[in-house]
């Protein structure tokens, strides 16, 4: 019964993983027409020494930091607002998951229209409100990364919210009632009951958000292509491998990304264990 | 617990903000898709003369000259219909394949104890943390040796390898929670393991299968990077990849792009709305 699963993951995950690692240690080979040669970790250092890789790593850290902040803050706010039962809650929850359900390419396009310098909704609104006096090119300047992160977070927030809602449901109502009787304000209840008891959900949400943010690609591709000012590390891998046709260096970088993702996962698990024990 | 008046007002404001935040970008897309191309740069929030030109162009597959619209010349709108069909085919077939593999393996790992079964289970779970990108390059080369690039079987296999670990894990947890007694009774009555699985276990799993099936459909339909690399010809190219080609480098025919976007988001939006309870269940950590 488990055989199909083993065959598929063996052939399509483990074999490419091993093969890919070997590619990352060689130059030439494959479709390049050059003889394959073992070069140790040269491809890794070559990939890392490319100044655009350094930039891409910095960009990715920005994406990650902004995305996690937005997702956890908005997720908490939405989950707490929807915590109690009220009329129409089911409909609101159904609408809530829509941004998550849409293809990220389509979300990118929707927001591209909002950010468009010519008569985009954002410029339109801000000009009408006299916040700005000339239309802005949002995706060109320093704001490009935050704007793209908003689009990315738009799709991830529903997931984070649902994780928090499940966490909130596990907190018994009595705890709040007891605190209220003791005179705790809603803010203090949130600070001293909700937040500490939500820590496990936070760890899960942070891990989900981190994996999504490190692998950010679709939204950037649609909103700004492979432009250098917003290029993430995965986009750098894509560009190195397929546009510069450098399979070896691309694979080496991909392994670094994979390692970093795993590292973050372990870090969160350890931090979470520390926080709860 | 009683909710104070202030809290109720606050919640009403918050709920309005949440709904606006989730729906506004979608509404912008719908409105833009109905705006005549000439009016996009000038019109206000709503078009004064709504038009469905963009939709009829896409549905009838009229070829557009590259001077109009900033569409790269190799792509014309006649590809839209075929790519929607490709997306549908890939999504349905992949979802069935992913479900089959993960139901069998999930049940197997939950009920059949064999030597090394726990270790194998964790090895498969470990592939959950492998980012697609680490294997996609080697996968690309592997598939090209077998001439599976730009074919349905190649794509479906890749989607199974990407999605099945999650499915196996969720179905494993789901099967663990099913009562053992009905199955054991069937086994005692002389059913084989396979008969017991088909006649007793499978019917009990209906809600879980619907929930996970919906999740996989959404995931596969929305996939972009994998088909961008592995399905670049019209035989298999899904709509997500085609849409990005509609975006011009300097000017973009927004009504057309948005109409394509609206049609491409219809299937996932419908699945998400119809099965939203089940989907929320899976996302918040419980199946069914």
A155 touching B (Cβ < 8 Å): no
- B195-215, pLDDT tens digit by residue? 888 888 888 888 889 999 999
Q: Which two tokens stand for residue B215?
A: 């999740």
**CB-based contact A247:A30 (threshold 8 Å):** yes
CB contact under 8 A, B18 and A78: yes
Q: How many CA atoms lie within 13 A of A243 on its CB side?
A: 9
Average pLDDT over every residue of B245-260 = 82
Q: Which residues touch B286 (CB under 8 Å, ≥6 apart)? A: A166
pLDDT in the model for residue A95 = 95
Q: Which residues touch B34 (CB under 8 Å, ≥6 apart)? A: B47, B50, B51, B52, B54, B255
pLDDT in the model for residue B287 = 44
pLDDT in the model for residue B63 = 59
List chain B residues with CB under 8 Å of A251.
Answer: 137-138
In three-state secondary structure terms, A26 is strand
- Give, in order, the Cα–Cα distances in Å from B96 to each of B42, B103, B121, B220, B266: 47, 10, 22, 11, 20
Q: Which residues touch A169 (CB under 8 Å, ≥6 apart)? A: none
B127, closest residue in chain A (CA to CA): A13
- B32-64, pLDDT tens digit by residue? 999 888 777 776 667 777 888 888 888 877 655
pLDDT in the model for residue A34 = 67
Q: Tell whether the model's pLDDT for residue B83 goes beyond 50.
A: yes
Considering only residues 54 to 93 of chain B, which have any Cβ-Cβ distance to chain A shorter than 8 Å? none
Weakest mean pLDDT among A107-111, B40-44, B175-179:
B40-44
B28, closest residue in chain A (CA to CA): A110
Closest CA to B263 of B54, B46, B47: B54
List chain B residues with CB under 8 Å of A9.
Answer: 124, 127, 161, 164-165
What's the mean per-residue pLDDT of chain B?
A: 84
Closest CA to B78 of B66, B60, B65: B60
Find the helix packing angle between B206-222 and B276-283, rounded to 10°.
90
Q: Tell whether the model's pLDDT for residue B288 goes beyond 50.
A: no
pLDDT in the model for residue B282 = 85
Q: Which residues touch B64 (CB under 8 Å, ≥6 apart)? A: B57, B71, B76, B77, B253, B256
How many other CB atoms are found less than 10 A from the CB of residue B159?
Answer: 25
pLDDT grade, residue B14 (50/70/90)?
A: very high
Check the CA dihedral A72-A75-A76-A77 and report its sign. positive
How many other CB atoms are found less than 10 A from the CB of residue A138?
Answer: 20
pLDDT grade, residue A249 (50/70/90)?
A: confident
In three-state secondary structure terms, A185 is coil
Q: Which two tokens stand for residue A51?
A: 């100044």
Distance CA A121, CA A23 (A): 47
How many other CB atoms are found less than 10 A from the CB of residue A175?
Answer: 13
Measure CA B141 to chain center: 25
Q: Tell whether the model's pLDDT for residue B260 goes beyond 90.
A: yes
Distance CA B196, CA A128 (A): 67
pLDDT in the model for residue B74 = 41
- A134-169, pLDDT tens digit by residue? 888 888 878 899 999 999 999 999 999 999 999 998
- A38-73, pLDDT tens digit by residue? 777 888 888 888 888 999 999 999 999 999 999 999
Q: Tell whether the model's pLDDT for residue A122 goes beyond 80.
A: yes
Most confident stretch, B135-149, B180-194, B204-218 = B204-218
A4 touching B (Cβ < 8 Å): yes
Please give the full DSSP string across A227-241, using - where no structure is assigned.
-GGG--HHHHHHIII
pLDDT grade, residue A33 (50/70/90)?
A: low
Distance CA B107, CA B97 (A): 16
pLDDT in the model for residue A91 = 93
Give the percent of chain B with pLDDT over 90. Answer: 31
Q: What are phi and psi of B161, to 5 degrees?
A: -65, -30
Average pLDDT over every residue of A242-262 = 85
Most confident stretch, B110-119, B150-159, B259-268 = B259-268
Average pLDDT over every residue of B78-97 = 94
Closest CA to B59 of B35, B77, B36: B77
In three-state secondary structure terms, B149 is coil
Q: Tell whether the model's pLDDT for residue A206 goes beyond 50.
A: yes
Q: Tell whether the model's pLDDT for residue B106 goes beyond 60.
A: yes
pLDDT grade, residue A277 (50/70/90)?
A: low
**CB-based contact A272:A199 (threshold 8 Å):** yes
B154 touching A (Cβ < 8 Å): no
pLDDT grade, residue B71 (50/70/90)?
A: very low
A175 touching B (Cβ < 8 Å): no
In three-state secondary structure terms, B130 is coil
pLDDT grade, residue A99 (50/70/90)?
A: very high
């Amino acid at each position: 019964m488990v055989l199909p699963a083993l065959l598929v993951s063996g052939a399509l995950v483990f074999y490419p993983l091993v093969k890919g690692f070997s590619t990352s240690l060689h130059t030439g080979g494959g479709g390049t027409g050059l003889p394959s040669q073992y070069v140790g970790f040269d491809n890794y250092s070559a990939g890392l020494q490319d100044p655009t890789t350094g930039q891409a790593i910095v960009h990715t850290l920005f994406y990650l930091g902004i995305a996690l902040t937005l997702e956890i803050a908005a997720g908490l706010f939405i989950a707490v607002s929807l915590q109690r039962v009220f009329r129409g809650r089911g409909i609101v929850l159904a609408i809530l998951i829509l941004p998550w359900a849409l293809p990220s390419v389509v979300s990118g396009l929707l927001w591209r229209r909002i950010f468009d310098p010519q008569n985009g909704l954002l410029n339109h609104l801000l000009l009408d409100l006299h916040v700005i006096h000339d239309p802005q090119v949002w995706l060109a300047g320093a704001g490009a990364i935050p704007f793209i992160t908003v689009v990315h977070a738009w799709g991830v927030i529903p997931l984070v919210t649902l994780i928090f809602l499940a966490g909130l449901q596990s907190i018994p109502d009595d705890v709040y009632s007891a605190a209220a009787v003791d005179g705790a304000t809603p803010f203090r209840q949130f600070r001293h009951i909700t937040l500490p008891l939500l820590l496990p959900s936070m760890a899960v949400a942070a891990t989900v958000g981190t994996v999504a943010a490190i692998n950010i690609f679709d939204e950037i591709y649609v909103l700004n292509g492979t432009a250098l000012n917003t290029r993430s590390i995965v986009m750098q891998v894509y560009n190195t491998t397929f546009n510069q046709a450098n399979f070896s260096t691309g694979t080496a970088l991909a392994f670094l990304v994979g390692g970093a993702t795993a590292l973050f996962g372990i870090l969160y698990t350890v931090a979470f264990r520390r926080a709860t024990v | 617990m009683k909710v104070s008046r202030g809290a109720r007002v606050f919640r009403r404001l918050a709920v309005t903000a949440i709904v606006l935040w989730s729906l506004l970008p979608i509404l912008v897309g719908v409105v833009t898709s109905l705006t005549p191309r000439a009016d996009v740069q000038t019109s206000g929030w709503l078009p004064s003369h709504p038009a469905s030109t963009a939709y009829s162009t896409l549905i009838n597959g009229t070829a557009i000259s590259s001077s109009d619209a900033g569409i790269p010349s190799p792509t014309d709108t006649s590809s839209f219909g075929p790519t929607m069909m490709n997306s549908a085919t890939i999504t349905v077939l992949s979802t069935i394949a992913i479900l089959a593999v993960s139901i069998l393996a999930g049940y197997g790992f939950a009920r059949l104890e064999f030597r090394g079964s726990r270790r194998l289970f964790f090895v498969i779970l470990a592939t959950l943390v492998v980012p697609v990108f680490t294997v996609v390059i080697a996968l690309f080369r592997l598939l090209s040796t077998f001439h599976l690039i730009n074919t349905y079987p190649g794509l479906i296999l890749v989607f199974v390898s990407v999605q099945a670990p999650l499915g196996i894990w969720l179905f494993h947890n789901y099967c663990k929670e099913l009562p053992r007694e009905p199955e054991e009774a069937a086994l005692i009555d002389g059913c084989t393991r396979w008969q017991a699985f088909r006649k007793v276990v499978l019917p009990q799993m209906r809600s879980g299968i619907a929930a996970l099936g919906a999740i996989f459909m959404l995931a596969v339909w929305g996939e972009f990077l994998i088909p961008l690399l592995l399905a670049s010809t019209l035989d298999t190219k899904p709509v997500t990849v085609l849409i990005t080609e509609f975006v011009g480098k300097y000017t973009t025919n927004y009504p057309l792009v948005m109409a394509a976007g609206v049609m491409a988001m219809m299937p996932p939006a419908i699945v998400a709305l119809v099965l939203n309870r089940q989907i929320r269940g899976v996302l918040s950590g419980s199946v069914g």
